[in-house]
Amino acid sequence: MSQNRITTLLQQDKKLLIAYYMPEFPVIGSTLPVLEALEASGADIIELGMPYSDPIGDGPVIQEAAHTAIRNGVTIRHLLELVRRARLGEGCRKITAPILLMGYCNPVIAYGVDSFLHDAREAGVDGLLIPDLPPEEAADFLAKAKKIGLTVVFLVSPVTPPERIELIDALSTDFSYCLAVNGTTGTAKLSDAATESMVDDYLKRVRQHARKKFVVGFGIKDKARVEHMWGLADGAVVGTALLQHIAASATPEECARLAGEFWKTLR
């Protein structure tokens, strides 16, 4: 079994810039061109949403993107086929960046956990982030994922106590994901001094209690915020701002162009 791309990437001494994208948003046929544009523009890891009708942890932008993806025919099976095509270079330049799937438990259970893990790995997926899978209840899932070489990422929040940060850090395969603030995606306001100070203190606390690397997401919209987070964490995740930038696209080609242009501004 070849080494997981995420594991390989995290062995490098570099700050990560991670893109979150909802497949087939905003128009059918966008996924492969957008993946190509994001990789070419410097995305270190590409996080793909698994659209779900009730994405409780997501704000209005990602919720609407998920509903659009569902209307555009995206299922887990379709998503895995898109990943497979991306890895083979069918319909785009061959994608070599690590791919992380983010989604909720219900669609995975409906698909069948064992089948999902096997099919994800076979398609070329490198890692999984399941926000509503509690670490304390994830032992079986984690063991099965690790056995076939899939990274599993768990979430840390600003109210996570030190002992739980240590637990999440220990259970996350390669890195953990810190939510910058409590709330849903895209609703965080990181620009005021009080919030910024609290986020900084929180991430410093994570650094004290985590042995592995960690990235931070929610509310990161521009280069200045990316660079600030790089000073506190090992990577920054940008999702809502990317989706907002491409939302009005009428064609896959326009969507990919706008995605690439926006991503270059973050670098």
Which amino acids are annotated catalytic?
47, 58
Q: Hey, what are 97's tokens? A: 């960046």
Q: Rounded to an integer, what distance in angstroms lies between the CA atom of residue 114 and that of residue 97?
A: 25
The torsion angles phi and psi of 262, rounded to 5 degrees, stand at: -65, -45
Which position has the token pair 């001494």? 13
The pair of three-digit structure tokens given for residue 33, joined into one six-digit string: 């061109």
Q: How far is the CA of 87 from the CAs of 65, 97, 165, 196, in angstroms?
A: 24, 9, 34, 39
CB atoms within 10 A of CB 19: 26
Strand pairing category for 235-238 and 99-102: unpaired
